[in-house]
Structure 1
Amino acid sequence: MSAPLLQGRRALVVGGGGEIGAAVAELFAVNGAAVVVADRPGTIASRTITASSRFETVDIDVTDQSSTRAAVAAATALLGGHVEIVVNSAGILEQVAVREMTLAQWQRTIDIDLTGTFLVAQAVLDPMLQAGWGRIINVGSQLGLLGGQTLAHYAAAKAGVIGFTKSLAREVASQGVLVNTIAPGPIDTEMTARVDEAWKKEKRADLPLGRFGTPAEVAPTALLLASDPGGNLYVGQTLGPNSGDVMP
């Protein structure tokens, strides 16, 4: 029997209080990784992680650099070594038309969905580079490629995640740190449940698969990117478990 794909690896899943992050954390743990989940205080306890492998939690505010660095330091202590794999899955989704959008709504989405990705990546990067191995997996969205009516701030942030991923990948791939984006299509989660039914009905009709995905269908893409040798040739890529919404 072959060893689990992530046997002995140390992983941090940011945004693990959400369904996609929780599914990734569970799959990583099942596959042998020591996992720390980070999210806002009070959001993690509501998730049940059934994996039998080691699983720890820390609080984080991804919009705050001090909080981000403290969470990475806490995760490092819990894991008994530096973070080798990080998944940036923290995000918010609020539906509003551009002409009705407040600056505060725009800025909050950019701060969490884009700036938070930057802050976490920056906080974990140096030890990865020193070790000559690391995986940074950012969760974007297919709307970062397509745009989205009444979701311009979200689409803009996710497009930024894709551009940030490509740029960072070019900086660090030669030093053994691989950076990639997962850009899911619509996924049935609490976040998408807040989008109006008319939008969802129209989107389902546009999808070649005819349905939204589930978090468990997204998590295996993160496992592929985190694994060795499975993820070894992915550099600055955008992988799309998106029900056929985007076909590059």
Structure 2
Amino acid sequence: MGQEYPGEGKPLSGQVAIVTGASRGIGRAIALSLAAAGARVIVNYHRAQAEAEHVASQCRALADAALAVQADVAHPNEVSRLMSAATALGAPSILVNNAGIAWSGLFQETPWQVWQQLIGVNLTGVYLCTQAVLPYMLRAEYGRIINIASVWGLSGGACEAAYSASKGGVIALTRALAKELGRTGITVNAVAPGAVATDMTATLDAQDATQLLNEIPVGRIGTPEEVAHCVRFLALPASSYLTGQVLSPNGGLVT
């Protein structure tokens, strides 16, 4: 793990970070990156308990504490339970809203239930978790809120209208909340990844994968660790003058 996240000391020691949807992929990489920087990490998951417990175990090897907590971020009662469990490690000062789902298809064929689910997890989940964590951050006059959006939230994606809308909403919420909280010591930023090697891109057939690679100027898919690097940077105390921004590690796909 030391080679994956080379040392900068432990700039997040003593801080508690909540990472939603952290049992795999980008969320897992973010949890490990923050733990390597010294943070006590709450590894949130929806269904993948064994995977989340394993990530929490890896985090404990990097920092002094970590905890896996089950919650569906689209539901207020479950978010309240998540926050109550998180405080066992201390008052949260970092929130990474990473939990998300995707769906592809023509807009006119998008079922209402799919639309509701995408907005519920991808956007309402950000609203609920942020609203729940703000009292702790406002009391401390310090906090880092980092929302995982998507390159399609910036540019829109064909056959990704519902997903694009949900992630575009995350970006708009990020920018508005950064202005609202500007004088509180709390920063609010977003990371909008392009194509990254996760379960979502693994389902592409050979033709679609080749076409995607041809559209990316750097000629490759990104890694979860590259996204986690952006999140870790935004989470640092030294990043206090960055707020309302969208970092987009996308290999030049969208500029």
TM-score under structure 2 normalisation?
Answer: 0.91
| Equivalent in 7, 11, 15 of residue 5 of structure 1 | 11
- Quick one: distance in 1 between partners of 2:206 and 2:108? 21
Is the CA contact 1:93–1:192 (under 8 Å) kept in the aligned structure 2? Answer: no
Q: Which runs of 5+ in 1 are unaligned?
A: none
Identical aligned residues as a percent: 39
How many Å apart are 1:101 and its aligned residue?
1.0
How many Å apart are 1:73 and its aligned residue?
1.2
Is the CA contact 1:16–1:44 (under 8 Å) kept in the aligned structure 2? Answer: no
Which SS does the other structure have where 2:116 is aligned? Answer: helix
2:229 partner letter:
P
2:51 partner letter:
S
1:150 partner letter:
C
| Other-structure match for 2:233 | 224
How many Å apart are 1:196 and its aligned residue?
4.8
1:127 partner letter:
Y
How many Å apart are 1:108 and its aligned residue?
0.7
| Equivalent in 194, 199, 208 of residue 217 of structure 2 | 208
1:46 partner letter:
E
Q: Which runs of 5+ in 2 are unaligned?
A: 1-6
| Equivalent in 80, 92, 111 of residue 69 of structure 1 | 80
Residue 57 in 1 paired to residue 71 in 2? no
| Equivalent in 125, 135, 138 of residue 126 of structure 1 | 135
How many Å apart are 1:44 and its aligned residue?
4.1
Deviations 1:165-205 (A, max 9, x none): 01111111211110000000111101222345444332221
| Equivalent in 108, 112, 118 of residue 117 of structure 2 | 108
- Quick one: distance in 2 between partners of 1:85 and 1:216? 18
Q: How does 1:1-248 map to 2 (within 5 A)?
A: 3-41=9-47, 43-46=48-51, 48-49=54-55, 50-51=58-59, 52=61, 53=63, 54-77=65-88, 79=89, 81-229=90-238, 231-247=239-255
Deviations 1:34-55 (A, max 9, x none): 11111103x1422543341222
How many Å apart are 1:70 and its aligned residue?
1.1
- Quick one: distance in 2 between partners of 1:68 and 1:242? 30
Is the CA contact 1:95–1:195 (under 8 Å) kept in the aligned structure 2? Answer: no
Q: Name the count of aligned residue pairs.
A: 243
Which shifted more, 163-172 or 201-210?
A: 201-210
Which SS does the other structure have where 2:95 is aligned? Answer: strand
Q: What is the Cα-based RMSD across aligned positions, in Å?
A: 1.5
- Quick one: distance in 2 between partners of 1:96 and 1:129? 41
- Quick one: distance in 2 between partners of 1:115 and 1:197? 34
- Provide closer, same or farther for how the CA distance between residues 20 and 2 of structure 1 changes in structure 2, counting only shifts above 3 A: closer
- Quick one: distance in 1 between partners of 2:72 and 2:166? 17
Deviations 1:187-226 (A, max 9, x none): 1101222345444332221111111101011101111000
Which SS does the other structure have where 2:50 is aligned? Answer: coil
Deviations 1:88-146 (A, max 9, x none): 00001111111211111111111111111111000101110111000000000010011
- Quick one: distance in 2 between partners of 1:25 and 1:216? 10
